Structure 1
Amino acid sequence: MPSRAERLQAFPPVAVAGARVLILGSMPGEASLTAQQYYAHPRNAFWPIVATLFGFDPAAPYADRLQHLQAAGVALWDVLAACRRVGSLDSAIEGDSIEPNDFSGFLAAHPGIQRIAFNGTAAETLFRRHVLPRLDARACAIERIRQPSTSPAHASRDLAAKLEAWRALVDGL
């Protein structure tokens, strides 16, 4: 019998009380879990993209990058609180191990969230399947947009194309 993958725990949300946008990944990859930082893989385009959108240095210390996002009203989190997975690919997440985060509690504590942006298709799919059915009507009414994944595993779009698509994150806010 094959051994089961290790149970992985995600990070707590990074958010301030006045956050207006929530960016959701699926589950941190191996590099992020090792570094204990969101989007830590050196080829992940997340930090270069949001740094361009919000006007800060993507190479700044991690705590400074988080502060810049919070000052811009952006919160970070993942759809999953825990799961089993070998490697970093979302496709390797074991379906019977999925434990979603508490979005009802988070959204109640952050009533200013106007837009939820998914970092890729997997985050959106996991949210729709495991979170959306549990949310109240107000939370279900929050605008949701799917952005192209910033992961280096999704190389079908270059950085410029991803950045252009991610501009929707700030449109109208």
Structure 2
Amino acid sequence: MRSKQSASCAEGTGGLPPVIGDCPAVLILGSSPSVISLQKGEYYGNPRNHFWQLMERIAGVPADGSYTERIAGLKERRIALWDVLATCERHASCDQSIRNPRANNIADVLDNNPSIACIALNGKVGATRWMRRLMPDVMERADIRIFFLPSSSPANARLSLEEKAVEWARIMDCIKEK
């Protein structure tokens, strides 16, 4: 039986800080860190989440490296990482149960990093829904391509890892173009 614990999208500090290296080309946005990610202080900390396996397949970032090595690998490949939501309330890590969301300042990150050519939204239910609802101005920017990608979450069992990788590989074109 599932526990009825409540989880905040942000505990104390407002979620996880953005990961942005020099001259990023792609900004990957999730909806909000999972309970496990918040506990570990790591993006995509749930070992069942496919994110790091996807990064290994499409960008060559070793999924079995330390978190510090994986983050460095993303930065080297010009991939930035953050979440759409700064804070929210939700049941466990379920995106469908998000209430009282408050957005991160994505527009500011884009303005301060003009090298970002693409936003990759991790999940159509989570990140895409909240971007459309809370930041329509960012969604309409002509200078940014937006990719709506299948969620890397273990809850998204509709697609296999290989099928997800095909969709996610599209972001690599943004890196090659810059």
2:78 to 73, 77, 83: 73
CA distance in 2, matches of 1:8, 1:119: 16
What does residue 119 of structure 2 align with? 116
CA distance in 1, matches of 2:139, 2:148: 21
What does residue 151 of structure 1 align with? 153
Find the residue that maps to 2:152 and give its secondary structure.
Answer: coil
CA distance in 1, matches of 2:128, 2:142: 13
CA distance in 1, matches of 2:139, 2:133: 15
Judged with a 3 Å threshold, the aligned counterparts in structure 2 of structure 1 residues 141 and 56 are, in CA distance, closer, same or farther, namely closer
- Please list the CA deviations of residues 89-123 of structure 1 after superposition, one character each: whole Å capped at 9, or x if unmatched: 100101xx110001121111111000000111020
CA distance in 2, matches of 1:52, 1:136: 27
What does residue 49 of structure 1 align with? 54
Judged with a 3 Å threshold, the aligned counterparts in structure 2 of structure 1 residues 153 and 112 are, in CA distance, closer, same or farther, namely same
- Within the alignment, does 1:126 sit opposite 2:127 as a pair? no
The answer to whether the Cα contact below 8 Å between 1:58 and 1:65 also exists between their aligned partners in 2 is yes
Identical residues among aligned pairs (%): 34
Shift of residue 55, structure 1, vs aligned partner: 1.5
RMSD: 1.8
Judged with a 3 Å threshold, the aligned counterparts in structure 2 of structure 1 residues 6 and 156 are, in CA distance, closer, same or farther, namely closer
Q: Match of 1:125, as an amino acid?
A: R
CA distance in 2, matches of 1:111, 1:5: 37
- TM-score scaled by structure 2? 0.87
Shift of residue 36, structure 1, vs aligned partner: 0.8
Q: Match of 1:103, as an amino acid?
A: I
- Please list the CA deviations of residues 51-104 of structure 1 after superposition, one character each: whole Å capped at 9, or x if unmatched: 12121320100010000000000000000000011210100101xx11000112
CA distance in 1, matches of 2:82, 2:102: 14
Q: Match of 1:65, as an amino acid?
A: R
Find the residue that maps to 2:165 and give its secondary structure.
Answer: helix
CA distance in 2, matches of 1:170, 1:136: 20
- Number of residues of Structure 1 aligned to a counterpart in Structure 2: 166
Find the residue that maps to 1:118 and give its secondary structure.
Answer: strand
Shift of residue 136, structure 1, vs aligned partner: 9.8
Find the residue that maps to 1:170 and give its secondary structure.
Answer: helix
CA distance in 1, matches of 2:139, 2:161: 36
Find the residue that maps to 1:33 and give its secondary structure.
Answer: helix
1:160 to 154, 162, 167: 162
